[in-house]
Amino acid sequence: MPVELVVLHNISLPPGRFGGPGVEQLFTNRIDPDQHPFYREIAGLRVSAHFFLRRDGTLVQFVSCRQRAWHAGVSRWRGREKCNDFSIGIEIEGTDERPYTQRQYARLRGLVALLAAAFPSIGGVAGHSEIAPGRKTDPGPSFDWARFMREAGVPRAWRAP
């Protein structure tokens, strides 16, 4: 199915901590429930994302953009359900409350430009909160959508409902 959407998320493992191996362990099904009490709650999850963007701007790819990742869960965008089927998921290391870094915005800007060039079928970018309202809040109020849209040169229509 053509890629039509880019979904932005945030993640930190353990919650509120940055820089450790937790996210990569989660997305590769290697999380150790004994490393942190929160990990016991998520040890059975089978989730993935196409990309993980660390605080320092380092980009890690877990899933090919031509394959489905399990990042959106129960979701809906422009009347279509099951966003995993037609989207690329980008997990940004962060929380709803803490501002994202300059390096993250710069790398995200470049990544989205590359994705748009590789997949002309992309017609939108949304937060997880927008495709799963009431269930998810990320990338959260700390994500500066206006800045991202302006700097990335994302077409205005990409953010239309």
Q: Measured between alpha carbons, how far is 132 from 62 in angstroms, rounded to an integer? A: 22
Q: Kindly state the helix (H) or strand (E) to which residue 6 belongs, with its residue range.
A: strand 5-11
The CA distance from 148 to 44, in Å, is 34
Type of residue at 50: H
Q: Which of 91, 93, 97, 130 is catalytic?
A: 91
Whether the CA torsion 157, 127, 21, 102 is positive or negative: it is positive
Q: Is 130 a catalytic residue?
A: no
Residues 6+ away with beta carbon under 8 Å from 75: 7, 81, 82, 83, 84, 128, 131, 132
CA–CA gap between residue 105 and residue 92 (Å, rounded): 10
- Residue 93 parent element (H or E): strand 87-93
Catalytic residue ranges:
91
